[in-house]
Structure formats: structure tokens, C-alpha cells
Amino acid sequence: MRLIGKHNSPEVAKSYDWSRFPVLADIGGGTGGLLVDILEAYPSCRGILFDQPNVVEQATSHERLEPVGGDFFQGVPAGADAYMLRWIIHDWPEAEAVALFVSIRESMKPGARLILLEEIIPDTPKLVAGKWIDLLMLAITGGRERTEKEYSDLLSAAGFELEEVVRTHGSFSILIAKV
């Protein structure tokens, strides 16, 4: 999975105007590959990389990246303009996903956004790779891939409104939500 994420980072970085978020927090961002790609493409941005302490100890060094260790179910750093989660929500069943969204919402300042980078599976009988990943996630983590409506409903359950969906040329879509 790490290689898939690394491969998609440049595509995600150039698929959206991240400059609208002066401070971007990458929640569960690993060692920071995606965040560094965004920071390199948008010099006006600053990043907060948030993951488990033993993970952020290995973070990629960048002058505008602040590594912070912690547990995202217990809380995330406050004050960012956007909170980004890449391929995190598909790991979790609904109750845990909503709990994570609520944890983030409690740290958000007015006007901040929650951004999900996930594969959206079509709400049709058409067979796509995401449906196979859905079965894998269910069997391994209890999580799942979701349709756009299912993401919208999940966000709504945590007090968010799905504002925009940006399709990338890669497998990820960028889902932007507001309170």
C-alpha cells in the first residue's frame, strides 16, 4: 500500500490548488511523502505531519514541515486550515470513521476543511478494482471502500457537509468537507 500512495503523491499534489490552505495537516501521514510533494509545489503552504510518534520520528525533513506524534482518535493538532487524510478512512468501519472525524472537527478552527483522499467506488454493478479492495479491507481491517454517497453520509454523521469532489488522473479522489 505504501508504494501505491507514494506513486499517487505527485498526482494528488498537482490535482488541486492546495495554496488555499496556508497550514495543511496531514493526519496519519506516515513519513510525509505526500505532504512534502504538496509543500514543494506550493511554497506558500506550511505542513503539520501527524502520525504515531515512532512513525513521525522517521519523517522526511523539510523546512516547512512540523512533525507531531500522537493518536488521532485522542485528538489532532489545532489551528490548521485543512486536515487531510489519505487512504485512512477505508481502514475503518463506520463507528470508528465517525469518531475520527469528530476528533478532527473538535480541533478545527472556523472555515477549516476536512479533506479525504480515497478511491470512490461507483454505485453500479460494474466491476472495478476498488470493489476487490473493498473485500480485502473488510476481511483484514473491518473497513471498506465507499461510494460518493456513502462518504457523504459518513461525513454527515460526524457533522460535516461534503462540499466538493475532485477526481484525479490517478485512483484517488479528493473529497472536501466543511462543518
Q: Is 87 helix (H, G, I), strand (E, B) or coil?
A: coil
Q: What is the largest CA-CA distance in the chain?
A: 47
Residues 6+ apart with CB under 8 A from 11: 168, 169, 170, 172
> Contact, 81 vs 22, CB < 8 A?
yes
Per-residue cell: 45:
503552504
Q: CA dist 53 to 69, 71, 80, Å?
A: 4, 9, 19
The catalytic residue positions are 90-91, 118, 145
Q: How far apart are CA 117 and CA 20, in angstroms?
A: 17
